[in-house]
Amino acid sequence: MAPGDVPPDDHAYRVLVSEIMLQQTTVATVLSRYGPFLDRFPDLPTLAAAGANEVRDAWAGLGYYRRAGLLQACAQSVMEHHGGAFPQKAAQLAKLPGLGAYTSAAIASICFGEAIMPMDGNIERVVARLEAFKGPLPKEAAQLRKKAQKYVMGVDTGHVAQAFMDLASSHCGANSTNCPTCPLQKLCPVQGPDALKIPQKQMKKPPIEVTWHLLLTHDGERVIMERRGPGGIMAGMLGFPVVDGPPLGAYYAGSITHRLTHRMITAHVYLLKWDQQTDKTAPAIVKDCNRATLKQLPTLMRKVAERSGLFKV
C-alpha cells in the first residue's frame, strides 16, 4: 500500500485510518473521504492534538461516528504512552483504543512484518472453507484465527493476506463460488454448494425501530443546529434539534428512513420560520444553508437537510 520510502510509523498511521474507516462503511464512501481526512490530519501528532469536534466533523458521512473518537483516542495513546511510535506486535496494538483483532493484525503484518493473518470477513470465509470449519462466526472467530496461522508462517504475510482477499473476490464469494478454476481447489475439502454453507453465521437481531421529530428553524438562508450529546446515536455530531413531537406552527416536510446497524430511524422533518423572538434565544450554532454545511453533517442529517428543500446544492 505504501511505497518503500514511507517510514513504518507513517505507513501504520495510514493503514490505521483506512482500516477504521472501512469498518462498516463501503469502499466507495471511504475512497471519497480518506484523502480529505489525511489532508486535514496528515500524521499521528496532528490527529492527536486536534479538537474532538474537528475530528468528528471531518468524519461526517462515514457513519458509526464513535469510531472518530476512538481513532483520535488511539492516536493520543500512541503519542502519550509509546512516544509517538506504534507498537509493532498485534498483541500490543490490540491494547490501544478502538483496535480489535483484525485491525491490530493488519497493522502488525502489513507495516511491521509480524507473521499473523489479519482476519476480515473475506479471509475468514476462505480459511473456514479450507479448514472445513463448522463453528458459527463470530462466536468462534478466535478458533478460526488460530487455524489461519499456518498459512502465514515463513512467508510474506501481507502478500498472503492480499492473495486470500483476491481469492475471496474472484472464486470464493459469500453467495457464489468458482471452485473448478480455483488455484486452491486440490487443497479445499468443501466445494460447490457445500462451500456456501461455510462459514456458519449467527442469526442477527432485527433493528430497533426509532422515531425522531427534527425541527429546522430557519430564515431561508440560515438554520439553527446543535451538537449532539456525548452518548447515543451520532454522539458529538452536528445536526438538527430532536423535539418531543410535531411542533406547533411548523410545516411538515415529510419523513425519511435511515438504517444503522442496530436501528431503523424514521425521521419526521418540520420547518419553522425564524422570527424576532427566535433571534433573541437562538443558540450559538447557526449555519448557512449551503453545500459547505452539508459536508459537515452525518448522512442522516444530510438526508434531512436535502428533504427540507432549504439547502442550496
What ranges do the domains of the chain cover?
8-112, 121-201, 208-308
What homologous superfamily does CATH list for 8-112?
A: Hypothetical protein; domain 2 (1.10.340.30)
pLDDT by residue, tens only, the chain of 313 residues = 444 567 889 999 999 999 999 988 889 999 999 999 999 999 999 999 999 999 999 998 898 888 999 999 999 999 999 999 999 999 999 999 999 999 999 999 989 989 999 999 999 999 999 999 988 888 899 999 999 999 998 888 888 988 999 999 999 999 999 999 999 999 999 999 999 999 988 777 889 999 999 999 998 899 999 998 888 888 888 999 999 999 999 999 999 999 988 899 999 999 999 876 666 566 668 899 999 999 889 999 999 999 999 987 6
Q: Residue 298: exposed, middle, or buried by beta-carbon count in 10 A (0-12, 13-18, 19+)? A: buried
Angstrom distance (rounded) from CA 171 to CA 168: 6
Residues annotated as part of the active site? 19
Q: 273 by DSSP, 3-state: which?
A: strand
Topology of domain 208-308, CATH: Nucleoside Triphosphate Pyrophosphohydrolase (3.90.79)
Say if CB 129 and CB 188 are below 8 A apart: yes
For residue 49, the tally of other CB atoms under 10 A from its CB is: 12
Close Cβ partners of 277 (under 8 Å, ≥ 6 residues apart): none
Close Cβ partners of 84 (under 8 Å, ≥ 6 residues apart): 9, 44, 45, 78
Q: What pTM was estimated for this model as a whole?
A: 0.75
Q: Residue 172: exposed, middle, or buried by beta-carbon count in 10 A (0-12, 13-18, 19+)? A: buried
Q: Top-level CATH class of 121-201?
A: mainly alpha
